[in-house]
């Protein structure tokens, strides 16, 4: 195998990021293994086995090369530990870029750490907005977008949000005069759904285990704290 010419650090920490990283890591492994070397850093933001390890096992993601094990804590404490750990990894090894997903504290920490030492930032799911600054995730995604060299909005809506915020003016300049690039990439979660649907259909026993009939139920996921922490907001 010839020497790889691109070395990337993928930062994950929360369950959704682990799932999203599966799509990109799979593509690198299958189609770019001779050109790209990927190393994975797990911040430990989600550390319970059911929130973390099970997804590595079932989605076939390579084991993390680095695990910061930061655990829980206030936003400031947790993010500070992540910044320190990510910066240490980035300074001890040479990376051509850092891949960040979504809008968690791990995303924010990766963006801050990489930007300070001039490592290019590639933000997957850029441009997504709730327009609710009371959400910590909204702050994280906006900051990460501002610091990113290449932004990957999954949809035209994401692109339009970036346009409204002035990203198309390309006024930002990074190390060596590099400007920004914006690429509509599609949704990595959709890619995963298409890839894993046949596997789930073959292996899943949830229908029989729960006594469900085809088309006889509604699946709903509710995780935002302002929905789950207030009984009045839950459907009766």
Distance CA 103, CA 117 (A): 21
What's the CA angle centered on 80, arms 143 and 129, to 5 degrees? 25
Closest C-alpha among 70, 66, 64 to residue 83: 70
Catalytic residues, by residue number, are 223
Count the Cβ atoms, other than its own, within 10 Å of residue 193.
12
Distance CA 160, CA 167 (A): 10
CA distances from 235 to 83, 91, 229 (A): 39, 49, 13
What 160-166 contacts at long range (C-beta under 8 Å, 24+ apart), as own/partner pairs, is: 160/127, 161/127, 161/128, 161/129, 162/126, 162/127
Q: Under a CB-based contact definition with an 8 Å cutoff, are residues 31 and 1 in contact?
A: no
- Measure CA of the first residue to CA of the last residue in the chain; give whole Å: 59
């Amino acid at each position: 195998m010839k020497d790889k010419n691109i070395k990337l650090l993928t930062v994950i920490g929360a369950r959704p990021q682990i799932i999203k990283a599966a799509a990109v890591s799979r593509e690198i492994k299958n189609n770019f293994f001779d050109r790209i070397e990927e190393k994975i850093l797990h911040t430990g933001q989600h550390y319970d086995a059911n929130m973390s390890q099970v997804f590595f096992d079932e989605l076939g993601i390579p084991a993390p090369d680095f695990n910061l094990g930061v655990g829980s804590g206030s936003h400031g404490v947790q993010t500070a530990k992540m910044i320190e750990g990510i910066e240490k990894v980035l300074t001890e090894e040479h990376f051509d870029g850092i891949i960040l997903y979504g809008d968690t504290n791990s995303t924010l920490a990766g963006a801050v750490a990489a930007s300070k030492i001039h490592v290019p930032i590639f933000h997957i799911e850029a441009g997504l907005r709730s327009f609710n600054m009371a959400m910590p995730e909204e702050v994280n995604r906006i900051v990460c977008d501002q610091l990113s060299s290449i932004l990957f909005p999954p949809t035209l809506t994401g692109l339009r949000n970036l346009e409204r915020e002035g990203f198309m003016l390309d006024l930002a300049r990074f190390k060596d005069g590099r400007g920004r690039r914006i690429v509509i990439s599609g949704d990595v979660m959709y890619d995963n759904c298409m890839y894993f649907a046949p596997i789930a259909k073959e292996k899943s026993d949830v229908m029989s285990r729960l006594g469900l009939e085809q088309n006889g139920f509604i699946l709903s996921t509710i995780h935002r704290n302002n929905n789950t922490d207030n009984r009045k907001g839950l459907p009766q």
